[in-house]
Structure 1
């Protein structure tokens, strides 16, 4: 039994070959040698791998340098956004103008454009009068006054020395003529004011006033009493006013005054404050006898001026 079992466990097939057979062992060695070359991988090409690694590092360094150079060249507002999927894309951050400015800021001009400056609000041009018409009227008025004075009066300067604070129809005068008032305040000589009357496109008169004529005890609000042609009709029409009547009131204010109101003919109007001046206007549909009532307030809302307490401002129209 033991001999038979040994034959079964040590045999390799039916060809009768045994472990001790030299030919079999030689054959097995040859087969194992061939299998070893087949299974074992070829030696690792370290030299080639190192060469490729050095080349790859150099390529990455070149790409990184190019990216850094491009970031330096981009404007400050340029940045990259990455989406949730990791996708990236270049975008440019736009600075929104503020306050409605156009995106393109014009270069500052070294010289001021010819002509007067505009008021702080378009509402100071009334009755369809345009800035161009008011500017032309002021210029012709100043030119005519300068030519007619022949050095006898003060030098009123040129139109570009002024800021227009009011332009309105001059109703209630001579109804057969088409006219308007232009009120200009000098930016060259502080406190100088002119009211130009334009009729049928031609200057018909001019009145002036200065801060020098203000009373010594003037308060923070000083209505211009010499510009009374803006709020009352000429002597010839006072018995029977031409209605409706466009009126206006102007004067100076100190910086502490933040609000001025003018009541006239039963209506109260809030004046516009324009570079140290106040201007108010309205339309009367009935004849009045009381002069405009003017009040001034400071930033806290306290009353700092009341024309009823101003001995230089009339309460009633003459």
Structure 2
């Protein structure tokens, strides 16, 4: 056999082998089980992260409740006089292009917290939210989209230990006035609650207490009778344009609320051990002093603390 014939025979053998194996050669199958497991893990991670956010503030401490509009009376033993917040006497200063708008009064920045510190806290919460995520459809915007309406100390309790500060901000241009309650401890965001303002319609009351604001004025029910003191409390909510004055009673003292672009903000301090059993009582008046709203008459408002 010549060398040329040998090469032809070898070539034919190779072709035959290739034709026999042609249908056995295919790409490796996609690792579907591994991909599915990875997707499940990722979904659980996101759910856990969102749950952590809700547990921090939206669900509030164990036993805490969400208000549904209004306030109740108070039944306490020997609270200290509260610190009043004055009503706005002048328009809110124009916001800068690089940051949020200021509150209507200086009295809404409490406990020595500066506006710059409040802005830093708000920015920290927005950055933290972008890492944790409320869901792909959630977009809370930037700090300059908001107006800060309250900054005050936050007191840790047995359910959420660690002192810090609360910063409350509302979106300036949102028709529903989206509201954020940020909790900052050791300079870092630890919790964020996102909510809306009051409700619209002919049956809406003149004053509506924020439905998730209970964290601002109570500690865990586990600590009833042994609250950590001094305790700074705050109450926020929305008001109808007809409302010219709002008072908030908590303990045995009454605080005059600041009115800020459709929101009311009141605060005080308890520095004696008390057992608070009733939610804050809210009253709203028109410019002539006529009572427009009394939370004691509001059937939608849960007047008893847990």
| Category of TM-score, reference length = shorter chain | 0.5 to 0.7
Q: CA RMSD in A?
A: 2.2
Distance (Å, rounded) in 2 between the aligned partners of 1:214 and 1:239 = 38
- Asked if 1:128 corresponds to 2:116, the answer is no
- Asked if 1:297 corresponds to 2:285, the answer is yes
The residue that corresponds to 1:208 in the other structure is 194
Distance (Å, rounded) in 1 between the aligned partners of 2:154 and 2:210 = 18
The Cα of 1:153 is off from its aligned counterpart by 5.5
The residue that corresponds to 2:261 in the other structure is 275
The Cα of 1:208 is off from its aligned counterpart by 1.6
The Cα of 1:262 is off from its aligned counterpart by 0.2
Larger radius of gyration: 1
Gaps (5+ residues) in structure 2?
Answer: 1-93
- Asked if 1:238 corresponds to 2:224, the answer is yes
- Asked if 1:222 corresponds to 2:233, the answer is no
Secondary structure of 1:211 counterpart? coil
The Cα of 1:214 is off from its aligned counterpart by 6.9
The Cα of 1:293 is off from its aligned counterpart by 0.2
Q: 1:181 aligns with which of 166, 170, 179?
A: 166
Counterpart contact for 1:291–1:317, Cα < 8 Å:
yes
After superposition, the Cα gap between the structure-2 partners of 1:136 and 1:316, relative to the gap in structure 1 and judged at 3 Å, is same
The residue that corresponds to 1:139 in the other structure is 123
Count of residues in Structure 1 that have an aligned counterpart in Structure 2 = 209
The Cα of 1:235 is off from its aligned counterpart by 4.1
The Cα of 1:112 is off from its aligned counterpart by 4.0
The Cα of 1:207 is off from its aligned counterpart by 0.9
Gaps (5+ residues) in structure 1?
Answer: 1-108
After superposition, the Cα gap between the structure-2 partners of 1:317 and 1:112, relative to the gap in structure 1 and judged at 3 Å, is same
The Cα of 1:158 is off from its aligned counterpart by 1.1
Counterpart contact for 1:185–1:193, Cα < 8 Å:
yes
For residues 187-228 of structure 1, the C-alpha deviation after alignment (integer angstroms, 9 at most, x for no partner) is 121321110000010000011211376797321111112111
Could you state the TM-score of these two structures normalised by the residue count of structure 2?
0.64
- Asked if 1:149 corresponds to 2:137, the answer is no
Counterpart contact for 2:281–2:296, Cα < 8 Å:
yes
Higher relative contact order (CA 8 A, sep 6+): 2
Could you state the TM-score of these two structures normalised by the residue count of structure 1?
0.61
Distance (Å, rounded) in 1 between the aligned partners of 2:98 and 2:223 = 38
The residue that corresponds to 1:313 in the other structure is 301
Structure 1 runs of 4+ aligned residues shifted over 4 Å read 212-216
The residue that corresponds to 1:4 in the other structure is none
Secondary structure of 1:225 counterpart? coil
After superposition, the Cα gap between the structure-2 partners of 1:134 and 1:173, relative to the gap in structure 1 and judged at 3 Å, is farther
For residues 107-128 of structure 1, the C-alpha deviation after alignment (integer angstroms, 9 at most, x for no partner) is xx9x942111100111111111
